[in-house]
Structure 1
Amino acid sequence: MNRQNIELSIVVAIYNVRVEFGELLNELKKLSKISQVEVLFMNDGSTDGVEAILSKINYDNFITVTRQNGGLSYIRNEGLKLSQGRYVWFIDGDDIIDSSFVLRILKILEKQESDFIQFYYKRFSDSLGITFPEQSEKKLRMQWLSVDQWFSKLIDPKEQQFENYAWAHIVKRSIYTSNNVAFPIGRNYEDVATTYKLANKTSKILFIKNVAYYYRDRPGSITNSYTKIDVEDLLLSINEFKSNKLLVFSAKLKTNFTHRYLVGAYYMNMQLEDDLNKNLKKQLRSEILENNFLLLNLKFKFEYILFLFNIYEFYIGTKSFVKNYKGKP
């Protein structure tokens, strides 16, 4: 295969996903004869037997690479180094994509240039519940966004399917390589630390209002359980964002972004029972109250007031109680 004319590199991070991987592989096989696409299966030292499945993959545009376990950021960075596509899409081996979306994206890129393509995603726990759109419903709903418009959607509480996860966008590979953007090794919430850097270097963002990615909710995953390290890693990413002097985003957007993730870190910290986290909680509350209240959107102003009077946890507890009470028969 001539790897000089690749339009899209799909980098699949694989670690102990033998049970779930087959569903994604079935979709990716539909791209096995598409010469503009390469798929890199990056095995991060799996120990569950998934390598037996990988060893049987034999398509010209499918490449399997095994590394010693180094974590998600490490294996993504390795995939980026090996990729040859003009665009790159990072996905996880236990999730599912709609292969027909890739074909439609390729057609769009033949006619229109974009630095960054954002799309919706959907969570699922049972793949039997996934139904890809019928042919008549597969028309892509597209909107061009400025960088500030993209950032506004990212921090909009109403845009719950618009996220900064690495698998929620396809980006020109040169945006990564020319700006030395890499996933931070050994840290969780690596997407929070990288996505804004990519958007900051783009000029044309294409937003596709269709679901292209299906994220599997697994018990024990990082998005469903938290540790003190998770909170500290997220806080580190926030502080890196705050100290970055090269960002083009407006002060209002930067303030709202900081608030959103500080509150997220505080909420995560609430789930921890260790008394040692009290100091971290105080630090987070202090940083939340350092934000400029006047620049916050309405929902975030409400949260700011809750923190100001130190009743955020009471509010969350009451809200949870009411929700559970209403759910009783």
Structure 2
Amino acid sequence: MEKITVVVPTYNSEDYISPLIEDLRQIQNVKFILIDDGSNDHTGEILDSINDARFNILLSAHKGVSAARNLGISLCVTEYITFIDSDDRIDTLAFQKIVDNLDTASGYDVFSIGSSFKADTFFEIDKVNLIEQLLMIGHNTEILPGATSKIYKMSLLKKCQILFPDGVIVGEDMLFNIKVIGVATSLCVLSTPFYLCRNNLKSVTRQQTYDIEGNQTEFLRQLRSLLNSIFSEKQFKKTFQTKSISSWVEISYISFLTSHSIFKLKKLRASFSSKIKLTQLLSNNMPMKQKGLGILIWFKMYLIVKIYFYFHQMKLEIDNTEVDQFTML
């Protein structure tokens, strides 16, 4: 009897999806929902060729990863659900071990990867601490922000009507997980990493195919609403300010990495400098490398920023040459 469903949205994934399908075939006692989000390559044909009753294959119009995952949630009939991106892989032995042991921890709402743990750890949820980890505030990252590093109890998602948000292309995982942590009561941190995240230069966050500033504005709008419903006023103000500052630095990084446009960087700098004080940037609890980049942008040291990105881009291209590069989560 299957206890968990794996949902895989695909979009123009013909270069990556076949190895993942082979990984999934090796897993026992699992259902699979693969949803092609309007690909215009051969992804749909690859999915249609799967001859395995455990795989539910759906072809839809292009609506984005959130809509595809939400469709998977609506079709899930197992006790648990998890999500895998189509360009990633899994450690099949590690994942099978987790699947086989789900019964031993059936009282928990969320399972999350925690590779720094030496043994599975079960604890009641400290919402403030965990949400700050999801927001990547500070340096304690026991809980990662991605939906792909989690296993969720379906009864919680259905009871609280939790879905991935509309209108956010990058950051939707983080908002979804904040919704979950906001209503969950218990969480298990798994000591066995199973998720292999591909370092993909063609991923959405590294392509100039969406409105970066518009996405960030909508992300922060939805984040403000969520945090305001969970935190006290003092906690909300501190947490939201910290994340909003680091987020503007992040999108400046993404924008320049994908476009190499000083003009766009200047535009973003003008946007976030009108909302953020220098003292707030300097006192922000973000990683030092990120803060340093923010300070360079703040003081309009665009030539130094351009040199930094040139060498960073070269490193990314070298790291992704000849062999696939994965990060174990």
> Does the alignment reach a TM-score above 0.5?
yes
Runs of 5+ in structure 2 lacking a partner?
A: 316-329
* Counterpart position of 1:147: 127
Going from structure 1 to structure 2, the CA distance change for 1:115 and 1:259 (only over 3 Å counts) comes to farther
1:273-288 correspondence to structure 2 within 5 Å: 273=261, 275=263, 278-288=266-276
Does residue 180 of structure 1 match 2:161? Answer: yes
* Counterpart position of 2:108: 114
* Counterpart position of 1:18: 14
Given candidates 174, 183, 196, the residue that maps to 1:201 is 183
User: 2:5·2:31 contact (CA, 8 Å) conserved in 1?
Assistant: yes
Deviations 1:189-222 (A, max 9, x none): 1223322112212111222244321122233322
* Counterpart position of 1:75: 68
Given candidates 240, 250, 254, the residue that maps to 1:268 is 254
Going from structure 1 to structure 2, the CA distance change for 1:319 and 1:115 (only over 3 Å counts) comes to farther
Runs of 5+ in structure 1 lacking a partner?
A: 122-138
Aligned letter for 2:129? Answer: Q
Does residue 29 of structure 1 match 2:25? Answer: yes
* Counterpart position of 1:169: 150
Aligned letter for 2:18? Answer: G
Q: Matches of 2:283 and 2:153 in 1, distance apart?
A: 32
- Percentage of identical aligned residues: 21
* Counterpart position of 1:289: 277
Q: CA deviation at 1:274?
A: 6.8
User: 1:11·1:41 contact (CA, 8 Å) conserved in 2?
Assistant: yes
Going from structure 1 to structure 2, the CA distance change for 1:218 and 1:149 (only over 3 Å counts) comes to same
* Counterpart position of 1:8: 4
Going from structure 1 to structure 2, the CA distance change for 1:6 and 1:70 (only over 3 Å counts) comes to same
Going from structure 1 to structure 2, the CA distance change for 1:223 and 1:309 (only over 3 Å counts) comes to closer
Given candidates 34, 53, 75, the residue that maps to 2:46 is 53
User: 1:117·1:169 contact (CA, 8 Å) conserved in 2?
Assistant: yes
Q: Matches of 1:168 and 1:243 in 2, distance apart?
A: 24
Going from structure 1 to structure 2, the CA distance change for 1:110 and 1:66 (only over 3 Å counts) comes to same
Going from structure 1 to structure 2, the CA distance change for 1:141 and 1:313 (only over 3 Å counts) comes to farther
Going from structure 1 to structure 2, the CA distance change for 1:99 and 1:292 (only over 3 Å counts) comes to same
Going from structure 1 to structure 2, the CA distance change for 1:199 and 1:17 (only over 3 Å counts) comes to same
Aligned letter for 2:162? Answer: V
Greater displacement, 142-151 / 211-220: 142-151
User: 1:18·1:49 contact (CA, 8 Å) conserved in 2?
Assistant: yes
* Counterpart position of 1:62: 55
Aligned letter for 1:170? Answer: I
Going from structure 1 to structure 2, the CA distance change for 1:223 and 1:100 (only over 3 Å counts) comes to same
Going from structure 1 to structure 2, the CA distance change for 1:304 and 1:220 (only over 3 Å counts) comes to closer
User: 1:45·1:68 contact (CA, 8 Å) conserved in 2?
Assistant: yes
Q: Matches of 1:46 and 1:309 in 2, distance apart?
A: 37
Going from structure 1 to structure 2, the CA distance change for 1:159 and 1:314 (only over 3 Å counts) comes to farther
1:241-260 correspondence to structure 2 within 5 Å: 241-244=223-226, 245-248=228-231, 250-251=235-236, 252-260=238-246
User: 1:141·1:208 contact (CA, 8 Å) conserved in 2?
Assistant: yes
3-state SS of 2:77 partner: coil
Q: Matches of 1:44 and 1:306 in 2, distance apart?
A: 35
Does residue 224 of structure 1 match 2:216? Answer: no
Q: Matches of 2:187 and 2:197 in 1, distance apart?
A: 23
Q: Matches of 1:246 and 1:50 in 2, distance apart?
A: 40
User: 1:120·1:212 contact (CA, 8 Å) conserved in 2?
Assistant: no
What's the C-alpha RMSD, in Å, of the aligned pairs? Answer: 3.7
User: 1:265·1:284 contact (CA, 8 Å) conserved in 2?
Assistant: no
Q: CA deviation at 1:62?
A: 1.9
Does residue 95 of structure 1 match 2:88? Answer: yes
